[in-house]
Copies of this chain bind each other. A is one copy, B any other.
Amino acid sequence: MSTEPEIPVNRAATLTDVAKLAGVSVATASKAINGRGDVRAATRQRVLEAAEMLSFAPNALARGLLGGRTGTVGLLTSDLEGRFSIPILMGAEDAFGAGQVSVFLCDARGDAIRERYHVRALLSRRVDGLIVVGSRTDPRPPLAGPIPVPVVYVYAPSANPDDISITVDNVGGGRLAIEHLLACGRRNIAHITGDAGYQAARDRADGAAAALADAGLAMLDGKPYYGSWDETWGRAAAHIVVERHPEVDAIFCGSDQIARGVLETLRDLGRDVPGSIAVAGFDNWEAVAAHSRPRLTSIDMNLEQLGAAAGRRLFAAIDGGDLPRSDQYPGRLVMRDSTAPAQ
């Protein structure tokens, strides 16, 4: 069976063109390009150079139909505008290896109907597997309908525990932040965070509370200050904390944006950071953390690693390996200037 389908002449160089340019037979050109058969090194080199010059690429599409695999993967996100999908996507791309597997990207924009539509389109393209990236860490409903290829859920786990889900350990992240503040000698620690409707807010708070309990402590007020994920809330909440608890010597924030607002209020109030009050954020969003005053210590959830793990897991699932269903990945502390031992 020929690997050359009928592609219009004005659309792409054919193997015949390559053979002609290299001055060899089509059979030899084919062998050289596919690495099969007995071709002299110099001839092979000449054929590959001709292929390069003509931007010739073996027809992966036709090969896919013949081989039963297309070498394509669908990446379905709900959060292209957010900051979480992009590093995950880059990590997945790294895992796939440039050119080895091609990635169809679809943005469902949080709309279930749009998602179904995209999934149908991807299945009609015979993708070998799907990666589904959520915009928050709350469990999401599994993809609707029978999906005939492996699916890996990232960041937002599937609500079905039988599905493969790769998530971040937000409880551990909250614990990391508090352990660092404790190591800096802080004891009167408040936690200002985002919307309590988010699993991420609750998990980070749980981790923080557990680390404090291990040290025989509790967060100021005995619970987090829940609000919204932005600077405006950070500014307002910092006022409340300082007024209610003049003894506060550290504030752990559920996001870098909240921390940014907290830093501004502390500056307005003339409180020294980190001398008087240490501040830690979450997300390690470079644009925010690296340019605040002082520069912000934060928890990085290693989202590129998460994406790479999802890519590898999907490969393994396509190959039919027996794997643990789900996995949680830890974060790491990135220390900057907003935390230090108490003076």
Contact = CB atoms under 8 A, between A and B. Distances in A.
A112 B106 CA distance: 25
A54 interface: yes
A20 interface: no
Interface string A72-103: 10010000110000110110010000111011
A327 interface: no
Interface stretch (A37-45, A141-149, A188-196, A213-221): A141-149
Number of copies: 2
Nearest to A63: B124
Counting chain A residues whose Cβ lies within 8 A of the other chain, the interface size class is 35 or more
Most buried by B among A53, A54, A119, A287: A287
Given A57-B120, A89-B107, A261-B291, 14 more contacts: A11-B149, A12-B123, A12-B126, A52-B145, A55-B147, A57-B124, A59-B126, A61-B61, A61-B64, A61-B70, A81-B90, A86-B86, A99-B117, A230-B291
Interface of A: 5-8, 10-13, 52-55, 57-62, 64-65, 68, 70, 72, 75, 80-81, 86-87, 89-90, 93, 98-100, 102-107, 114, 117-126, 145-149, 230-232, 257, 261, 264, 287, 291, 293
